[in-house]
Amino acid sequence: MALFSGLLVLGLVCALSLCAAAALGWDAALLPLPTLAAGAVLLSLCGCFGVLGAGAWAVPALLLLGAVYSGVRAGAAALQKAACSPGLWLFAGASAFFWVLFAVQRPMFTQWDEFTAWGAAAKLVKTMDALYVAQPYSLTASHSLPGSSMVCYLFAAFSPAFSEWACFAAVDTLLLACAAAAAAIAAPKARWPQSVLVFGAAALLPLLFQVLPAGAVGTAYRTLMADMPMGFLFGGALCAYFAAPARRSGAVLALAPLALLALYKDIAFAYSLIAAFVIALDWLCCPPQKTKPSRALPGALGVFALTALPGLLAFLGWNAYVAAADTAAAAGVGSAGLGYGAVLLGGVRQLLGIGREEGFARLMALMARAFFGRRVFLAGGGAAAVALLAVMAALGRACAPKGAARRRPLAACAGLAVGFAALYAFHLILYHYNFAASEALVLKDYERYLGPYYAGWALTAFCLLGQGAAAGAKRAPAALAAAALAVAACVAWRGIPAAGFWSDVSSLYTVRTDVQRRAAAMNAVLDWPDRVLVLSQGDDATRWYYYKYELTATVVNGWAWDEAAGTCIDGDFMNLVPEAGSDMYTYTTRGDLAQLRAHMDANACAYLLIDRSDGYLAGELGPAVAGGLGEAGPAALYRYLPGQDVCFVPVAVAESGVATG
């Protein structure tokens, strides 16, 4: 059903793109991205107003109505002409391929943030038909912005259940829509090679900007992490602007992608402002010949205001919604809890050398070295990437016909370079204020944070090179072919991991499927408001988080024993041991039956889930469990009866062992 739903929504998006392009006389490849983005933004609005379930039907219905209306208006001849768009067909074909491939392979979430943020949010949205911010249950992800969840939800409109693989396919469809926007060109039938080459190179960018150690499993195109979609939305919005037949229509086409961009991740608001700046710079530096010079600056300021607006509205609107829906959410940054303004102001002062702290100076040196030394793409570091992107801009200039088209690649490259410098400085500030010193000093996740910007930049560069090659000299397509082949060669040379999105690596999911099978048995008696304490002796938090993700219930945190204060403090997962400092497990929590009962009473727990027992647990809790508790019994869910001697009564038992099918 998830496959049917995904393909149906994909078909509707393609149909609307084709019919609207026929009515407007554009390349149909230009429209899947604005269409998808508008649908996801509309769903976010529906979610904020509490009518997400209705939105799930309304958006596909609007897509259908729009397709029928514009198709009838365009007529058969125009439709036939619009259908000659290689970008659209490649988008449709590649997206459908991902849907079918993942429907067969059924890949699962494996990355930590997919359980605690992006995947949990997508699951809750689909399961509850509502946004997650105000949900009181454990499957919350209130710090996640809704962009990713809404894209997944849009494609699951006709599916009754949540599927992890369908989320991967939905996000991949969004990535390919960005690639299609880059590949959109005027008169696509005659210039199909340019379109295909740009699409091919763009589709390889997630692999080009994936730097993995040897033997690792690649996550490109099989991840719900927000980083690469953010970079692609950034580049895709710029491509929609640059590939449109006119500047005004381009600015309008970029609005929905920019709004979705700001709804994808916190930092994406900065990306949306940079995109608005690049568009304004293009408006200023590359006006058509008939434009009076005196009108260029007001026009640029006007288009900046227009294109910055959707991101600003989305960012402020979401924060206002979160503040209204969840009064516990704090709009602060980092452990110091400083406001955004204070962080920015303090960071800029230190950047300018006013009251610069020693730690900040050290981070500046580290960031400077990282620009040259840390690999952000398969062929090298940030400096190499910027140099190659500058070469691409020069190539774009050389390929383009005379006039404003020649200035475009250079102006865009300059704007993106300025934006990159600002973003780099912003990350320096974030490392200083938002990270623990130990994490900041190793520039934790440096590649993940900055890689998406390079990817978006490369997408824009390919779009502009494609535009130049389509309109320019006879030999220009060969330059584009060389650039696209260089990307393909680099990926083939260094970018093929031990396992990628094409590989069936089902043995990696054995822990996931084991917890999933056990949780399914317990979900038969659980409901969302039920509060459950989960114990899994020997766990390193993996199984605890998996249960938190799988259970249709509210998982209650455990406690930790603060030796210095001699009191219990709030924790998360627990391995109960009789004495502090026990070497039974790596992570331990001192606790006995009395403490467990007191904790469950204080947290109004209705159930205890024992995933894995051991000798200590069997001896300590055994007398309080109806039927006793073994050292190695199957996972079981116990109803908690406060105040009674035998207070744990089994209500569900999950078979032990490993899922092997």
Partner 1 sequence: MKRAALRPAQRVALCYMAAAALWVLWCLVGSGIMLDHKLSGRMPTLTLAFEDLAAQSLVPYGEEGWYVSSDADPHLTWQGEAYVETVQLHAQYRLPPGGVALYWRRPGQRDFTEKQKVYARLTAPDEYTFTLGGEAVAALRIDPDSLGGVPVRVQDVTVNPPRAWYLRFVPGGGAWVLLLFVPVFAAAVWQALAAALPLRRR
What does the alpha-carbon distance between residue 449 and residue 447 come to, in Å, rounded to a whole number?
5
Query: Residues binding partner 1: what is the number (CB under 8 A)?
Result: 52
Residue of 506, 582, 595, 603 that binds partner 1 (CB under 8 A): 506
Q: Which is closer to partner 1, CB of 26 or CB of 192?
A: 192
Which residues in the 154-193 window bind partner 1 by CB under 8 A?
Answer: 192-193
Of 127-135, 207-215, 307-315, 598-606, the segment contacting partner 1 by CB under 8 A is: 207-215
Distance in angstroms (rounded) separating the CA atoms of residues 504 and 216: 14
Least Cβ distance, residue 506 to partner 1 (angstroms)? 4
In terms of Cα–Cα distance, which of 7, 181, 18, 8 is closest to 95?
Answer: 7
CB of 19 to partner 1, least distance (A): 24
In whole angstroms, the minimum distance from the beta carbon of 161 to partner 1 comes to 22
Measure the CA–CA gap between 461 and 484, rounded to whole angstroms: 11
Provide the Cα torsion 84, 86, 92, 95; round to 10°. 180
To the nearest whole angstrom, how small is the minimum distance from the Cβ of residue 316 to partner 1? 41
CB 305 within 8 A of CB 446: no
Does residue 319 bind partner 1 (CB under 8 A)? no
- CB-based contacts of 44, cutoff 8 Å, min separation 6: 146, 147, 150, 263, 314, 318
Q: How far apart (Å, rounded) are the C-alpha atoms in residues 198 and 243?
A: 12
Tokens 């452990």 identify what position? Answer: 335
Helices (H), 435-475: 437-440, 446-471
Please, what is the minimum distance in Å from the beta carbon of residue 497 to partner 1?
10
Closest CB to partner 1 among residues 263, 480: 480
Applying CB under 8 A, does 323 fall inside the site for partner 1? no
Tell me phi and psi for residue 584, to 5 degrees.
-60, -40
Q: Which two tokens stand for residue 504?
A: 């069936």
Q: Which stretch binds partner 1 (CB under 8 A): 123-131, 249-257, 503-511, 526-534?
A: 503-511
List the beta bridge partners of residue 570. 559
Determine how β-strand 576-577 pairs with β-strand 589-590. parallel
To the nearest 10 degrees (0 to 180), the angle between helices 476-494 and 192-208 is 30
Tell me the closest approach of the beta carbon of residue 495 to partner 1, in angstroms: 13
User: For the window 519-548, what string marks contact with partner 1 as x by the rule CB under 8 A?
Assistant: -------------------x----------
CA atoms within 13 A on the CB side of 299: 18
Q: Which is nearer to partner 1, 505 or 651 (CB)?
A: 505
Region 254-293 residues binding partner 1, contact defined as CB under 8 A: none
Residue 480: how many CA atoms within 13 Å on its side-chain side?
A: 34
Task: Verify binding: residue 656, partner 1, rule CB under 8 A.
Answer: yes
Distance between CA atoms of residues 288 and 420, nearest Å: 27
Q: Is the dihedral of CA 216, 221, 224, 225 positive or negative?
A: positive
Q: CB–CB of 38/177 below 8 Å?
A: no
**Nearest distance from residue 38's CB to partner 1, in Å?**
28
Q: Site for partner 1 (CB under 8 A): which residue of 76, 77, 214, 365?
A: 214
- Please give the Cα distance from 610 to 648 (Å, whole number): 11
Q: Which of 289, 327, 438, 507 binds partner 1 (CB under 8 A)?
A: 507
> How many CA within 13 A on the CB side of residue 637?
24
Strand ordering across the sheet containing 636-640: 554-556, 531-536, 607-612, 636-640, 648-653
119 in Cβ contact with 126 (< 8 Å): no
To which residue do tokens 């006119």 refer? 246
Residue 72 touching partner 1 (CB under 8 A): no
Residue 101 or 306: the one with the smaller Cβ distance to partner 1 is 101
Q: Does 197 engage in binding with partner 1 (CB under 8 A)?
A: yes
Exactly one of 323, 478, 489, 524 binds partner 1 (CB under 8 A); which one? 478
Minimum distance of partner 1 from residue 547's CB (angstroms) = 14
Tell me which of 60, 71, 200, 231 binds partner 1, using CB under 8 A.
200
Please, what is the minimum distance in Å from the beta carbon of residue 493 to partner 1?
13
- In this chain, which of 345, 436, 498, 604 binds partner 1, going by CB under 8 A? 498
List the x/- string, 432-471, binding to partner 1 by CB under 8 A: -------------------------------------x--
Residue among 446 and 501 whose Cβ is closer to partner 1: 501
Choice from 6, 299, 472, 477 touching partner 1 (CB under 8 A): 477
Taking the complex as a whole, the smallest distance from the CB of residue 465 to partner 1 amounts, in Å, to: 12
Helix ranges (H only) for 286-381 are: 293-325, 340-351, 358-373
User: SS3 of 531, please?
Assistant: strand
Question: Binding string, 78-117, against partner 1, x = CB under 8 A?
Answer: --------x---x--xx--x---x---x------------
What residue ranges bind partner 1 (CB under 8 A)? 86, 90, 93-94, 97, 101, 105, 192-197, 200, 203, 213-215, 217, 469, 474-478, 480-481, 484-485, 488, 498-508, 510-511, 513-514, 538, 656-661
